[in-house]
Chain A
Amino acid sequence: MSIDLKAVEQLATDQSSLKAAAGLAKPAKWSGVGTSRDGALVWGECSGSGANPYRVMADLRDLGNKCTCPSRKFPCKHVLGLLWLNAEEIVPFVPADTPDWVSDWLGRRRPGGGKPKPADDVPVAAKDVHAAQVALPDDAEDPKAAARREAASAKRAEDTERTILDALDALEQWIGDQLRMGLPPFIDDATARCRRIAARLVDGKAGTLAGRIDELPGRLLALPAGDRPRAAVVELGKLVLLARAFRATPRDAEIRRAVATAEARETVLAHPDALRVSARWEVLAEQVQTRRDGLVSQTSWLLNLGATGPRFAMLLDFFPASVGRRGSVFTPGERFQGELVFYPAQRPLRALLVQRAAAEAATAPEWPAPDNALTDALSEPLLAEPWTLEVPLLLPAGRIALDSAGHAWWRSADGSTILPVAGDTEGLWRGTDLMQAAAIWSGSRLTFLAAQSRWGRIGDG
């Protein structure tokens, strides 16, 4: 397993990180450099300003990384320096046993990821010791204590559920109030009003829903003024539908994810029903948005180029805005063979990347054909999960047209469908046929992610 320099550059949060890393990519700065026997992990100790060297480690499979330095940049210059050393082969990375500090980190970031499986040539004695540790009997636990713990856990879950239901009651009351006071005042004062109810929802442990309501004014204000009352009705109605769905099935993981919080990575990976898909993927686009709650959401949209499994995957990550811009491990347009685990859902979309092979450049258009009638593709997800905000779509051949005000519309080549377009479609987007396009349908506007044209791929990257 290896990493190339391009990936290192893409990881860097900014040019200065890259430059600082260049200063560290010197053999004299490093000690204890090594790699696991399967080549997936690299590590090293880098001398810094402190008394002890910083311990730096990275997983080349998904470019996860860790450093003990206090930098608030992620990844820090030491991680970049280590990856640079590896990519440029500036120092030899001798295969060795994984140090404990690397294993500990790995163990924390994914289940079963502690010490890597020993290679075949590892002495049996070592295996026995490890096996003995793993095989420690856990049936010695007091059954009463276990029952108490389970009961306490159930009580906590019940309390949380009650708190969320109370918050949803408050939300519905708030929605009723907005209708009573009229839609125009709501639209005019949406930011402050949404802020208040979002705060109430945060207190009520409905954090995801709070974030969604916090972003509602932004979505409304992005529309032409004439479209806002209708959009406000749609947005508020979806909230009612989601609240009702939660009341009906509060233990449903998918609905809980939309209201309270998403499962931890480990929970998804360990879930028996989580869909695992190994396929060739194309990175369609990356959307980075600074939210009102101070978090930055980084969404990578992937297109499944294979014949089976979900057509799209959405990798979603959050980090504090105070960290600054964070590099991506993807370049829009690149393709790779990888394994994804999808969060359990009726229509799996959000996923985790668990295995990734080396990137390849996108060349000829190899996108799968849209497999639904367009009208069905637009409506089916909204009928199945009426609170859904975004539906990724593969559009058939079409072209951008402009109305007299300069607003863009996508028109299918056969003229049967015309949809309004959101966002920026300058230059080439407007001056060529789009043989196929990937876009997100919000229920009122299309936002393009990428397209295939006679000029090749169009999109960022």
Chain B
Amino acid sequence: MAEAIYDGLGAVLTRWTMGMAAAPAASMWRDELGAEPAEAELRLLALSSQFLGVVVTAEPPVDLRVLSDIAALALPTVPDATRALVRRNLTTMKDARLRNEMLRFLTTRGWTVHPGDWMPVASDEETPDVYAPWRDWTEMAASAGAAGTRMPDVLSAENWADYWPAVRKAALANLRIRDPDAARVLLEAKLADMGAEERLRLLGLLAIKLSNADAVFLGSLAAADRAPKVRGLAASLLSRLGYGATAGEDVAELARFFEVKSKGLLRRTQVLVAQTLKTPAQAARRRVLFANAEVAAFAAALQVPLDDLPAIWNWGEDLLADVEFVSMVERSGSDPLIAALLDTLERKDVREIQVLFALRSRLDPARRVELAYRALRGGESFQTALRIAGGCGRIDGAIDMRAGVTLTGSLGEAEGGKPAELAAELQALGLIASRTAAIHAMERLGTAGLLRADPRLDMLRLNAALDDSGVKE
């Protein structure tokens, strides 16, 4: 019966589509529709409606595709009780940089976000590697691929193609940490088959445990890779190993922006002084030259021993030059040169955030935390400390430092002062403080007049609520 009605409805719908009376075509309901034409149309409409609504559902296509399971990550998701707080913080942190600091904070503490609350997209390169399987899953979901994502036990040339890009990169990074030579050999075997962007991404991993054993491979890339960016990265990595390029015309031009002078009573101390820039064009030119130069070549052009360069640099006179110089060292300096630079900065008490921040990528997490402590002790804000250390969640006694005193002192006037600044400081404090420090800060801020439920305390509240089960560095 239902089949007959269904077949009959085809003609009915066609007639209504054309604006024709359909009742004459509905033989299956002739008795129910009656003789009056207008009434018959309405009755037919009511009967058709109920039949279509109750009996007929859309025919599913035959090619339905089920996506693979979203993989469990290497770290557990946050406890259910804190999920609401995580969601609220993620909502507040519109800025991707800040959101990534929060993800780093959670990872440091040994947790990950629940996938029902947030998932990365494939292009979220800055998210911690622990989320790599989810990045691959979203890429796989958007494509026609149906393969699952998983973390390989050991990445090899044989299983290389079994993995999606984000997981593969994370696996290669792990391999580089455990067995640097094996990682390089694998990369040598596979690099030629990749696109330029992926070559660039993976080559960057050689910065981990970089050694002389990598020099030949890097040399070949620096000389002959198809992509200029890859050649540049290979050259800067080579430079970190001391295989600097010879000083070319550009480096010589850069050196002319500086002058080695003697100072002191007996004129035995050398100092590298920046020439005063007279026009914005000169400043722009110097910036470009610094961005492309390698520190070894720069030292050679100045005829100064490379290791002496940090010590004779005239710190604090030209902040732009300081930042450009440190950026050049960060990109192309060897590990010993970085250590010497850090010693010099500490000895000469250089605290400028831009200078410290330019070095960030060459420092291990413990060293960054140490620098953040130093900045806080020097009176810098929590936001500055966050920029240096990232969402480390490990700084004790933060609220007792000068930034904390400033923060609690400003609470009374903050409502009429700079509320956005206050909120940003509280958020930064929540990201850098250890759990004990977060609990202590909540108490102090409560005493100073901030309500416990104030939404600006959300990050601190999350920090205080979250067990620290992460790896201590």
Contacts and interface: CB of A to CB of B under 8 A. Distances in A.
Interface stretch (A92-100, A198-206, A322-330, A402-410): A402-410
Interface centre among B38, B54, B68, B137 (most CB of A within 10 A): B54
B301 to A, nearest CB: 54
A427 B451 contact: no
Interface stretch (A112-120, A143-151, A264-272, A452-460): A452-460
A197 B64 CA distance: 41
A241 B50 CA distance: 9
Given A179-B45, A240-B46, A88 B453 contact: yes
A402 B451 contact: no
Interface string B124-145: 0000000000000110010000
A230 B455 CA distance: 48
A407 to B, nearest CB: 9
A180 B453 contact: no
Nearest to B43: A240
Contacts of A234: 49, 52-53
B63 interface: yes
A430 interface: yes
Contacts of B65: 401-404
B48 A431 contact: no
Interface string A232-267: 011111101100100000000000000000000000
A411 B18 CA distance: 36
Interface in B11-68: 13, 16-19, 21-22, 38, 41-43, 45-50, 52-58, 60-61, 63-68
Nearest to A382: B54
Nearest to B415: A23
Contact of B49 (A25, A240, A399): A240
A250 B178 CA distance: 80
A338 interface: no
A23 B413 CA distance: 12
B60 A233 contact: no
A43 interface: no
A432 interface: yes
A431 B67 contact: yes
B457 to A, nearest CB: 11
Interface in A388-413: 399-404, 409, 411
A5 B453 contact: yes
Contact of A237 (B49, B114, B452, B453): B49
Nearest to B115: A428
B60 A237 contact: no
Interface in B441-473: 451-455
Given A229-B17, A401-B65, A427 B50 contact: no
B119 interface: yes
B27 to A, nearest CB: 18
Nearest to A419: B57
A252 B265 CA distance: 107
B63 A382 contact: no
B336 interface: no
B137 A431 contact: yes
Contact of B63 (A6, A8, A404): A404
Given A179-B22, A240-B45, A456 B116 contact: yes
Contacts, number: 167
B81 interface: yes
Interface in A73-88: 84, 87-88
**What's the dominant secondary structure at chain A's contact region?**
helix
B114 A456 contact: yes
Contacts of A9: 453, 455
Given A379-B54, A428-B70, A456 B49 contact: no
Interface range, B side: 35 or more
Interface residues of A, number: 69
Contact of B42 (A8, A18, A176, A386): A176
Contacts of A433: 69
A309 B56 CA distance: 30
Interface in A149-171: none
A379 B115 CA distance: 34
Given A84-B453, A382-B50, A455-B116, A233 B45 contact: yes
Given A227-B58, A419-B57, A456-B116, A175 B45 contact: yes
Contacts of B67: 400, 402, 430-431
Contacts of A400: 66-67
Contacts of B455: 9, 15, 18
27 contacts: A9-B455, A19-B415, A19-B419, A22-B451, A22-B454, A88-B451, A176-B41, A180-B19, A182-B17, A229-B16, A229-B17, A233-B13, A233-B16, A235-B49, A236-B49, A237-B50, A238-B49, A363-B80, A382-B50, A383-B50, A400-B67, A401-B64, A403-B61, A403-B65, A409-B64, A411-B64, A419-B57
Interface of B: 13, 16-19, 21-22, 38, 41-43, 45-50, 52-58, 60-61, 63-70, 77, 80-81, 84, 114-116, 119, 137-138, 141, 415, 419, 451-455
Pairs of residues from A and B, 9 with the lowest C-beta to C-beta distance, nearest first: A237-B49, A182-B19, A5-B453, A431-B70, A418-B60, A401-B64, A443-B53, A240-B46, A428-B115
